[in-house]
Amino acid sequence: MSLSGALESFPIVEVLKLVAGSGKNGVLRVDAQGLEARLYLDDGLLTYGTTRRDEEFHSKLVEANMVDPRAWVEVERRERTVSDILKDGATREQLEEFMLDQLSDVIFRVLREPSGRFAFSEDVSPRFDTGVALDVEAAITEANSRLGRWKEIEEVIPGVAFHLTVNPEASDEGSVVVAADEWKVLGIMAGASSVEEVSRKQGWSEFRSAQLMANMVRRGLLVLADTLPSGRYSYGEETAEPERGSFEVIGSRAQEPRAEESADAEEATSDEAETATTVHTDVSDSDGDRGVLQRRKGLGSIVRESERS
């Protein structure tokens, strides 16, 4: 059985809960506004997820000082799991915390997108066996919590590509107490660093880095180094870029379309708008049969009909 549809009709949270409640094994893929996310489940539990290349997961684990990089080849060969090659001093609980941060971040990214498509395929395994299986509800709860907290972060840091620098006047009024994670950030601030750069160097999710750095801005430890542009600010791959300058286009104006051309364009636009308002959900069974289902049917009914066909 394969399940597919539109996020406008069935939110990702609803789909995840359904798949998890059915105890499915496989991968849930989401394509939303250029964001490509993958969430893997085993017996209804989350084992791995990403919105980037799999190699970046390895890099994050190494930067977080969680695994022995020399033993990673055994994970690549699927001879051992990630939890089997933890470095001395790293615990399974820390790995589970790391994975919850990563998986919640994937769901959080998808929740921020207003539209997209999803597809669930059974019996598909991730490239890496993490040896960790997490409850879907826990990841969803954390992702929903991040939605509200991100609005507070954007009030301080408009986008993850914006650079921040150490505030030279932070200690003017006396001593400054710096937490361990804050010290890690200050230790890699070479002139100016963005949330993206800190995330990459520390092996953290961008949300964790952004939240920590936003708190450091509020405490006067960091200041924004870039000028705010007038564009849309966003999280993840589609990030707002800092203002680097301005430009002026010099040349003749495009000719105004003739009346008949304008009429044709308006008619075409009207047809496209009418088509765009039609939202449907496709469900495909293993034999490839497809059908169009109205939104009034519940997602559970759709799956049961798919399995019976």
- Average pLDDT of the chain to the nearest whole number: 79
The 10s digit of each residue's pLDDT in 170-199 is 765 667 788 989 988 988 887 788 998 998
Indicate the pLDDT class of residue 308, thresholds 50, 70 and 90: low
Q: What distance, in Å, lies between the first and last C-alpha atoms of the chain?
A: 10
User: Whose CA is closest to 10, among 108, 110, 101?
Assistant: 110
Most confident of 56-60, 132-136, 228-232, 268-272: 132-136
Model pLDDT for residues 117-142, shown as the tens digit of each residue = 999 999 999 999 999 999 999 999 99
| Per-residue pLDDT reduced to its tens digit, 81-127 | 999 999 999 999 999 999 999 999 999 999 998 899 999 999 999 99
Distance CA 14, CA 100 (A): 19
pLDDT band of residue 252 (cuts 50, 70, 90) is very low
| Pairwise CA distance, residues 306 & 309, whole Å | 5
| pLDDT digits 0-9 by tens, 205-243 | 889 999 999 999 999 899 998 766 544 444 454 444 555
pTM confidence score: 0.67
